[in-house]
Structure 1
Amino acid sequence: MQTYDDIFQQLVRAAYQGNLNDAIERIRQSGKANEEKLELLLHPENLPPVVHLKQDCSSSSVPSSCQVACLFSAIQKDAKGQVTVSAETCVGCELCIESCKSGHLVDRKDFIPLFEELSSGKNPVYAMIAPAFIGQFSADVTPGKLRTAFKKIGFHGMMEVALFADILTLKEAFEFDRAIKKDQDFLLTSCCCPMWVAMIRKTYSTLVPHMPPSVSPMVAGGRVIKHLHPGAKTVFIGPCLAKKAEAKEADIRDAVDYVLTFQEITEIFDAAKISLPTLKEDEREHSSRAGRIYARSGGVSTAVSDTLARLRPNRTIPLRSERANGIVACKKMLKEILNGEIKANFLEGMGCTGGCVGGPKSLVPVDLATKYVNDYGNEAPYETPADNPSVLKLLDLLGYKTLDSFLDAPESMFTRKF
């Protein structure tokens, strides 16, 4: 019996060797347990980000370690004692996978339908790379080389999500300026981490009115690409399993068609025999420092604070931030807010310790990844999105003629109703 990851790797290799159908048939004939895993890989469309492998998982009425680990009650047991994962409530935090020592819980993989999309050539497919990407594929892999790699495996192009983080930084800076008028006011930054958003909405719902109505940079990127290129398909690539859940949420599922992790895309590059360091540069848009540092803890707060200072230098109430990273720290901070123990007026939460760079599918240690992100941010030609001509040009292309104007469009592609 093969493992789920073994079968995934076998399919990826076969796809780029031109014998995918033969590989699928061989796996189907190799046993019931392998066939179950194969079907999960062939048809991931309606699966939660965490998938349960039913074969050989022992039955018991006693809550299992994975059930206890889940903070969102997404894991239950049916009448037969079989573990089930709810597609509606699973947010992809991956705590259950870490607690499952038998390997019966795995992450959903979207490769097969994406490969079919790329192979068909019917629609242009765009890669959207998360701000945490820098340094993940080795220190000498630049954004330009990565863009070339995506084109080699069939993508029409690649865009850095940091550019859309720039746009959301502008939006949240304006939201703060509009909402915070006295010392008791505060905002919970909402646009970045789906685990933070889910925790507030599902467990601390009384705080929802303090969330600015912003989509995530991933969603903004997908919507902008589809607006500018009708018919295009979008693929987000990052260190986060929770993005697979976010992309399926009913009010924003129009934005992103597939989500891959850094681990998945690495296996795809390997199967396609792509040597990233040797590729030619293909440079495009440029994000500011603000958008680039979204990937690490405190990055959103710093980005919004710097941008607010640039836009509104004479504000009498400055932005005072407090941040928490990791599920436990986020819960603690939210409880302190409810108890009136917080003096900050801008609260940032990241579900992973260290921020996105500490995500479960990150390829390098969090401290090193943080250094790469900070260095990349410091190399940016612009400090804030208010100074970034790429942002101003994109907003103009979308019909926003002034920096303030897109905040006043309540149904814009950058707005979400919580």
Structure 2
Amino acid sequence: MIIETERTKCRDCYKCVRACPVKAIRVVRGRLAHELYASVVQDACIYDGTCLRECPQGAKRVKEETHLVKKMLKNGERVAISLAPSFAASLALDNPLRIVSALRKLGAQVVQETALGAEMVARAHQKMLNTSDRPIISSACPSVVSLIEKYYPDAIAYLAPFVSPAIAHGKYLKRTYPGIKVVFIGPCVAKKEEIARPDSAGAVDVALTFQELMKWLKDEGIDAAALPPGKFDGPSPGLARLFAADGGLLKTAGKDGILRRETVAASGVANCIEMINHFIAEDYPPVLVELLACPGGCISGPFSLSENDLFGRRAKLIAYVESARLREGDQEPPDYESMLPLEELCRSYENRKVEMRQPSEEELAEILERTGKFSPEDELNCGACGYSSCREKAIAVYNGMADPEMCIPYMRQRAESMANVVVEASPNGVIVATRGGTIIEVNQAAEQFLGVPRKTCIGQPVELFMDATMFHEAAKTRGSVSGENTIGDRIIKQQVMYLTAQQLLVALLEDVTSKRAEEERQFRVVAEAVARAQQVIEKQMAVAQKIAGLLGETTAETKLSLTGLMKVVREGKPGTNEPKS
């Protein structure tokens, strides 16, 4: 898998679906019922890298392969670097040649410009044009090749039967340095798929992006900006250094006349598709068409690291080409055919058409109805889901590429409908008012509380129907205020909240009349019970006091009797003499 999706970062915004020129994005459900995330369908992808640029969450990432090159170097294998022509415009260096020194510090034995392969490919195109009047679409861009093979196979016959500059250069390096490993470095994602094709025959072992290169340098503690400019190995590629900009092939092949009808340069997938359709229609096709998937050419590749705009990158590339020409002087171009025979540049193509099943009208209608579209008037064709029309999205659903819940207007309508059902069914009153206190919505319960129909309330100030003190306080404090109010003979508990984002006031009303009456009844019951208890206590106290009084009297009488008895005993029987001592 070349392009992966980090599920934890994907926020199902569908921006990648909207941006992908061939809709090679499948939106699938996650572990939770409401979770949706977008993944790249590798077999349908043309690897133009649009989704990588457009994803606002950075959820799309390219498979990193730096570890493969590190392993080669660790094992003592010789490594040759093929540096894409766009390096001069794509890297944030004041002198592009500093990167050559950085690559040598990483351990590369050979560092050459991929533009050498571009020279070979341009001359192959030139030779073909000189011997045939057959219309040709350049095959230098692997994304364009995938676009034609997967979506416009009728145009395969027009593709130039030549490999890309990277593959040509890889073959040259392998031929020149037997046993060497070739690593291509550039701004392109499609190269990672291209080098794995059977017809590439192992010409390039690993394809890295500029991003992978800069991360590798950082990990190794190498600051390319601090290194002296280096020197490339091998012959000078000449004008092929312009291949990275649109029109570069035409310039190198000597077919760059700006007003020549027989040659056209187009960049950007949309323009490429338009030109391909022109070829298929055979409506006076030009002799040679240079197609590049990235707008402005490879200098705008998905992993171009320059912060300059397109004009700035193009100017930087031209400045590098001019400085190289001054530095190297006028040189006799090498015999490119002896460096790599023409048969080594030849290739074939494969019909890899992406088939989309077409639903019947009944099946299509059933899918549309699942998102509330029962007639053509219901089809908004807003494009929020990423598809240009509701029917296109329904076909994607039929093919398992999309989910019905991607329809944002439908989901909003459903959410609002559910919210309305909940609000209407609530026994509590709900009043929505502007910050100034003008009513804009009430539910059925609030109608009953206010004692007037909804249509009478809407557009009127709250003060006409109830005390608006809490509304004004909530608007003033921009917070929440709660308390109790009376509306007629009802006691209403209310909470008024200020919604900052909407600048609205929402009041929740609860009729607590019965509750307060019950509380009053319970209070009376308790009070009566307390009163009865008090009476019992008072009676018990009175009885206790009486008992205490009786006990006091009998105790006094008992004391007198006992005192008299003790006296008799002490003095002896009456009429007897007291014992003598």
Provide TM-score, normalisation by structure 2. Answer: 0.53
In the alignment, is the contact (CA less than 8 A) between 1:234 and 1:256 conserved in 2? yes
Of 347, 352, 355, 2:297 maps to 355
Give the structure 2 partner of residue 66 of structure 1: 16
Q: Please state if 1:136 is matched with 2:80.
A: no
Q: Please state if 1:391 is matched with 2:334.
A: yes
- 1:55 and 1:176, CA in 2 relative to 1: closer, same or farther beyond 3 A? same
Q: Please state if 1:219 is matched with 2:167.
A: yes
- 1:257 and 1:91, CA in 2 relative to 1: closer, same or farther beyond 3 A? farther
Q: Distance in 2 between matches of 1:138 and 1:67?
A: 30
Give the structure 1 partner of residue 110 of structure 2: 157
Q: Please state if 1:178 is matched with 2:109.
A: no
Q: Could you say what secondary structure the match of 2:144 adopts? A: helix
Deviation, structure 1 residue 280 = 5.4
Q: What RMSD in Å do the two structures reach over aligned CA positions? A: 2.9
1:264-413 → structure 2 map (5 Å cutoff): 264-277=212-225, 278-279=227-228, 281-305=230-254, 320-342=262-284, 344-364=286-306, 365=308, 366-381=310-325, 389=332, 391-392=334-335, 395-398=337-340, 406-407=341-342, 412-413=343-344
- 1:302 and 1:282, CA in 2 relative to 1: closer, same or farther beyond 3 A? closer
- 1:289 and 1:374, CA in 2 relative to 1: closer, same or farther beyond 3 A? farther
Give the structure 1 partner of residue 80 of structure 2: 126
- 1:306 and 1:321, CA in 2 relative to 1: closer, same or farther beyond 3 A? closer
In the alignment, is the contact (CA less than 8 A) between 1:325 and 1:355 conserved in 2? yes
Deviation, structure 1 residue 57 = 5.0
1:212-251 → structure 2 map (5 Å cutoff): 212-251=160-199
In the alignment, is the contact (CA less than 8 A) between 2:21 and 2:269 conserved in 1? no
Q: Which structure 2 residue ranges, 5 or more long, are not aligned?
A: 31-35, 350-581
Q: Distance in 2 between matches of 1:279 and 1:381?
A: 20
Give the structure 1 partner of residue 422 of structure 2: none
Q: Distance in 2 between matches of 1:288 and 1:280?
A: 18
Q: Please state if 1:106 is matched with 2:56.
A: no
Q: Distance in 1 between matches of 2:245 and 2:68?
A: 31
Q: Please state if 1:95 is matched with 2:45.
A: no
In the alignment, is the contact (CA less than 8 A) between 1:234 and 1:255 conserved in 2? yes
> Partner letter of residue 132 of structure 1?
S
Q: Distance in 1 between matches of 2:331 and 2:348?
A: 28
Give the structure 1 partner of residue 410 of structure 2: none
Of 116, 122, 128, 2:71 maps to 116
Q: Distance in 2 between matches of 1:352 and 1:149?
A: 27
1:37-52 → structure 2 map (5 Å cutoff): 47-48=1-2, 50-52=3-5
- 1:253 and 1:99, CA in 2 relative to 1: closer, same or farther beyond 3 A? farther
Q: Distance in 1 between matches of 2:265 and 2:229?
A: 39
Q: Distance in 2 between matches of 1:306 and 1:347?
A: 10
Per-residue CA distance 1:42-79 (angstroms, 9 max, x = gap): xxxxx22x1122447579xxx94434543445433568
Which deviates more, 349-358 or 99-108? 99-108
Q: Distance in 2 between matches of 1:217 and 1:116?
A: 26
Give the structure 1 partner of residue 345 of structure 2: 414
Identity %: 26
- 1:73 and 1:396, CA in 2 relative to 1: closer, same or farther beyond 3 A? same
Deviation, structure 1 residue 342 = 4.7
- 1:58 and 1:295, CA in 2 relative to 1: closer, same or farther beyond 3 A? closer
> Partner letter of residue 125 of structure 1?
V
- 1:68 and 1:138, CA in 2 relative to 1: closer, same or farther beyond 3 A? closer
Give the structure 2 partner of residue 23 of structure 1: none
Q: Could you say what secondary structure the match of 2:200 adopts? A: coil
- 1:390 and 1:159, CA in 2 relative to 1: closer, same or farther beyond 3 A? farther
Q: Could you say what secondary structure the match of 1:363 adopts? A: coil
Deviation, structure 1 residue 269 = 2.0
- 1:88 and 1:227, CA in 2 relative to 1: closer, same or farther beyond 3 A? farther
In the alignment, is the contact (CA less than 8 A) between 2:143 and 2:293 conserved in 1? yes
Q: Distance in 1 between matches of 2:229 and 2:48?
A: 36
Deviation, structure 1 residue 233 = 1.4
In the alignment, is the contact (CA less than 8 A) between 1:326 and 1:353 conserved in 2? yes
User: Which is greater in Rg?
Assistant: 2
Deviation, structure 1 residue 93 = 1.5
- Answer 1 or 2: higher relative contact order, Cα 8 Å, separation at least 6: 1
> Partner letter of residue 187 of structure 2?
P
> Partner letter of residue 51 of structure 1?
E
Which deviates more, 210-219 or 67-76? 67-76
Deviation, structure 1 residue 275 = 3.1
In the alignment, is the contact (CA less than 8 A) between 1:319 and 1:346 conserved in 2? no
Deviation, structure 1 residue 111 = 1.5
Q: Distance in 1 between matches of 2:40 and 2:91?
A: 32
Q: Distance in 2 between matches of 1:135 and 1:189?
A: 22
Provide TM-score, normalisation by structure 1. Answer: 0.72
Deviation, structure 1 residue 84 = 4.3
1:177-196 → structure 2 map (5 Å cutoff): 177-180=130-133, 185-190=134-139, 192-196=140-144
In the alignment, is the contact (CA less than 8 A) between 1:94 and 1:241 conserved in 2? yes
- 1:70 and 1:306, CA in 2 relative to 1: closer, same or farther beyond 3 A? closer
Deviation, structure 1 residue 388 = 6.0
Deviation, structure 1 residue 198 = 1.4
Deviation, structure 1 residue 350 = 0.9
Q: Could you say what secondary structure the match of 1:51 adopts? A: strand
Give the structure 1 partner of residue 478 of structure 2: none
Deviation, structure 1 residue 254 = 1.0
Per-residue CA distance 1:174-215 (angstroms, 9 max, x = gap): 0111221xxxx411111x211111112222221211222100
Per-residue CA distance 1:10-65 (angstroms, 9 max, x = gap): xxxxxxxxxxxxxxxxxxxxxxxxxxxxxxxxxxxxx22x1122447579xxx944
> Partner letter of residue 120 of structure 1?
N
> Partner letter of residue 247 of structure 2?
G
